Homo-oligomer: A and B are copies of this chain.
Protein backbone atom coordinates (compact mmCIF):
# COMPACT_ATOMS: atom_id res chain seq x y z
CA UNK A 1 0.00 0.00 0.00
CA UNK A 2 2.78 2.36 -0.87
CA UNK A 3 2.83 4.81 -3.71
CA UNK A 4 1.97 2.56 -6.58
CA UNK A 5 -0.13 5.17 -8.20
CA UNK A 6 2.94 7.27 -8.58
CA UNK A 7 5.57 4.84 -9.62
CA UNK A 8 3.29 3.03 -12.02
CA UNK A 9 3.83 4.88 -15.30
CA UNK A 10 6.70 7.27 -15.89
CA UNK A 11 5.17 7.86 -19.32
CA UNK A 12 6.80 7.69 -22.73
CA UNK A 13 7.48 11.41 -22.88
CA UNK A 14 9.30 11.11 -19.60
CA UNK A 15 6.97 13.65 -18.01
CA UNK A 16 6.80 13.02 -14.27
CA UNK A 17 3.30 12.83 -12.93
CA UNK A 18 4.07 13.70 -9.36
CA UNK A 19 2.01 16.57 -8.10
CA UNK A 20 4.76 19.12 -7.85
CA UNK A 21 3.80 22.33 -9.57
CA UNK A 22 5.56 22.83 -12.87
CA UNK A 23 7.64 25.68 -11.51
CA UNK A 24 8.70 23.56 -8.58
CA UNK A 25 9.88 20.80 -10.86
CA UNK A 26 11.90 23.23 -12.90
CA UNK A 27 13.51 24.83 -9.86
CA UNK A 28 14.22 21.55 -8.13
CA UNK A 29 15.92 20.15 -11.22
CA UNK A 30 17.92 23.32 -11.73
CA UNK A 31 19.32 23.03 -8.23
CA UNK A 32 20.05 19.38 -8.94
CA UNK A 33 22.14 20.50 -11.87
CA UNK A 34 24.10 23.14 -9.99
CA UNK A 35 24.95 20.79 -7.23
CA UNK A 36 25.96 18.07 -9.63
CA UNK A 37 28.35 20.55 -11.16
CA UNK A 38 30.00 20.86 -7.75
CA UNK A 39 30.54 17.13 -7.57
CA UNK A 40 27.51 16.06 -5.58
CA UNK A 41 24.63 13.86 -6.55
CA UNK A 42 21.87 15.49 -8.52
CA UNK A 43 19.25 14.02 -6.20
CA UNK A 44 20.89 15.46 -3.11
CA UNK A 45 20.27 18.84 -4.65
CA UNK A 46 16.72 17.96 -5.64
CA UNK A 47 15.79 16.81 -2.16
CA UNK A 48 17.25 19.88 -0.52
CA UNK A 49 15.59 22.19 -3.06
CA UNK A 50 12.23 20.55 -2.53
CA UNK A 51 12.41 20.98 1.22
CA UNK A 52 13.76 24.47 0.96
CA UNK A 53 11.10 25.65 -1.46
CA UNK A 54 8.23 24.20 0.52
CA UNK A 55 9.62 25.60 3.76
CA UNK A 56 8.05 22.82 5.80
CA UNK A 57 8.93 19.42 7.23
CA UNK A 58 8.23 16.35 5.10
CA UNK A 59 8.46 12.64 5.72
CA UNK A 60 10.70 10.36 3.71
CA UNK A 61 7.61 8.82 2.14
CA UNK A 62 6.48 12.20 0.89
CA UNK A 63 9.85 13.04 -0.54
CA UNK A 64 9.93 9.66 -2.19
CA UNK A 65 6.58 10.27 -3.83
CA UNK A 66 7.12 13.87 -4.89
CA UNK A 67 10.54 13.42 -6.37
CA UNK A 68 9.96 9.90 -7.66
CA UNK A 69 12.83 8.35 -5.79
CA UNK A 70 13.15 4.94 -4.20
CA UNK A 71 12.73 4.31 -0.51
CA UNK A 72 16.33 3.30 -0.06
CA UNK A 73 17.53 6.21 -2.08
CA UNK A 74 15.71 8.75 0.06
CA UNK A 75 17.12 7.17 3.19
CA UNK A 76 20.66 7.60 1.94
CA UNK A 77 20.11 11.05 0.51
CA UNK A 78 18.65 12.51 3.69
CA UNK A 79 21.41 10.91 5.72
CA UNK A 80 24.01 12.71 3.60
CA UNK A 81 22.17 16.02 3.70
CA UNK A 82 21.72 15.74 7.43
CA UNK A 83 25.36 14.94 8.02
CA UNK A 84 26.28 18.06 6.09
CA UNK A 85 23.86 20.06 8.19
CA UNK A 86 21.75 21.42 5.37
CA UNK A 87 18.59 19.67 6.53
CA UNK A 88 17.38 18.71 10.02
CA UNK A 89 15.39 15.74 11.16
CA UNK A 90 12.48 16.46 13.48
CA UNK A 91 10.01 14.18 15.16
CA UNK A 92 6.49 15.52 15.52
CA UNK A 93 4.79 14.49 18.82
CA UNK A 94 1.92 12.39 17.52
CA UNK A 95 3.72 11.27 14.42
CA UNK A 96 5.28 7.89 13.92
CA UNK A 97 7.86 9.09 11.41
CA UNK A 98 10.67 11.57 11.13
CA UNK A 99 10.25 14.69 9.10
CA UNK A 100 12.93 16.67 7.33
CA UNK A 101 13.29 20.39 6.90
CA UNK A 102 15.82 22.47 4.99
CA UNK A 103 18.12 24.22 7.37
CA UNK A 104 20.90 26.22 5.76
CA UNK A 105 22.04 27.26 2.41
CA UNK A 106 23.34 24.48 0.19
CA UNK A 107 26.55 26.40 -0.36
CA UNK A 108 27.55 25.36 3.13
CA UNK A 109 27.63 21.77 2.01
CA UNK A 110 29.63 22.58 -1.08
CA UNK A 111 32.22 24.51 0.85
CA UNK A 112 32.56 21.84 3.47
CA UNK A 113 33.09 18.96 1.11
CA UNK A 114 35.28 20.87 -1.25
CA UNK A 115 37.47 21.75 1.65
CA UNK A 116 37.89 18.15 2.72
CA UNK A 117 37.81 16.23 -0.49
CA UNK A 118 39.28 18.51 -3.11
CA UNK A 119 42.10 19.92 -1.07
CA UNK A 120 43.20 16.45 -0.06
CA UNK A 121 43.20 15.51 -3.69
CA UNK A 122 45.32 18.43 -4.77
CA UNK A 123 47.66 17.95 -1.85
CA UNK A 124 48.20 14.39 -2.98
CA UNK A 125 49.08 15.55 -6.47
CA UNK A 126 51.59 18.02 -5.16
CA UNK A 127 53.23 15.33 -3.10
CA UNK A 128 53.52 13.17 -6.19
CA UNK A 129 55.14 15.97 -8.12
CA UNK A 130 57.56 16.63 -5.30
CA UNK A 131 58.51 12.99 -5.32
CA UNK A 132 58.99 13.04 -9.07
CA UNK A 133 61.29 16.00 -8.66
CA UNK A 134 63.39 14.25 -6.02
CA UNK A 135 63.60 11.13 -8.15
CA UNK A 136 64.56 13.13 -11.21
CA UNK A 137 67.30 14.93 -9.34
CA UNK A 138 68.82 11.79 -7.90
CA UNK A 139 68.58 10.20 -11.35
CA UNK A 140 70.53 13.15 -12.72
CA UNK A 141 67.86 14.09 -15.23
CA UNK A 142 68.82 16.97 -17.47
CA UNK A 143 68.37 20.57 -16.36
CA UNK A 144 65.52 21.39 -18.70
CA UNK A 145 63.46 18.43 -17.58
CA UNK A 146 63.83 19.49 -13.99
CA UNK A 147 62.87 23.02 -14.86
CA UNK A 148 59.73 21.74 -16.53
CA UNK A 149 58.90 19.45 -13.66
CA UNK A 150 58.96 22.43 -11.34
CA UNK A 151 56.65 24.25 -13.66
CA UNK A 152 54.19 21.42 -13.42
CA UNK A 153 54.23 21.74 -9.67
CA UNK A 154 53.23 25.31 -10.08
CA UNK A 155 50.26 24.21 -12.12
CA UNK A 156 49.00 22.26 -9.14
CA UNK A 157 49.82 25.14 -6.82
CA UNK A 158 47.86 27.53 -8.97
CA UNK A 159 44.94 25.13 -8.86
CA UNK A 160 45.06 24.99 -5.11
CA UNK A 161 45.26 28.72 -4.74
CA UNK A 162 42.38 29.22 -7.12
CA UNK A 163 40.34 26.73 -5.16
CA UNK A 164 41.01 28.55 -1.91
CA UNK A 165 40.08 31.84 -3.40
CA UNK A 166 37.00 30.27 -4.84
CA UNK A 167 35.87 29.02 -1.45
CA UNK A 168 36.54 32.31 0.23
CA UNK A 169 34.62 34.13 -2.44
CA UNK A 170 31.62 31.85 -2.41
CA UNK A 171 31.35 32.42 1.29
CA UNK A 172 31.36 36.16 0.84
CA UNK A 173 28.91 35.91 -2.01
CA UNK A 174 26.32 34.12 0.02
CA UNK A 175 26.70 36.36 3.02
CA UNK A 176 26.69 39.64 1.20
CA UNK A 177 23.88 38.50 -1.02
CA UNK A 178 22.69 41.75 -2.49
CA UNK A 179 25.04 44.19 -4.02
CA UNK A 180 28.43 44.87 -5.52
CA UNK A 181 28.30 42.66 -8.57
CA UNK A 182 26.20 44.09 -11.34
CA UNK A 183 24.67 41.71 -13.85
CA UNK A 184 27.18 41.61 -16.65
CA UNK A 185 27.90 39.58 -19.74
Binding site for B on A (CB under 8 A): 21-24, 26-27, 29-31, 33-34, 37-38, 49, 52-55, 105-107, 118, 121-122, 124-125, 128-129, 131-136, 139, 141, 144-145, 148-149, 151-152, 154-159, 161-162, 165-166, 169-170, 173-174, 177-178, 181
Contact = CB atoms under 8 A, between A and B. Distances in A.
Given A27-B149, A148-B52, A173 B162 contact: yes
From DSSP, what is the main secondary structure of chain A's interface residues?
helix
B37 A107 contact: no
Given A23-B141, A26-B132, 14 more contacts: A22-B139, A23-B134, A27-B136, A30-B125, A30-B152, A30-B156, A33-B128, A34-B155, A37-B122, A38-B159, A105-B155, A151-B178, A158-B174, A165-B166
A55 to B, nearest CB: 6
A181 B155 contact: no
Which residue of A30, A122, A154, A174 has the most chain B CB atoms within 10 A of its CB atom?
A30
Given A125-B34, A156-B34, A23 B135 contact: yes
B128 A26 contact: yes
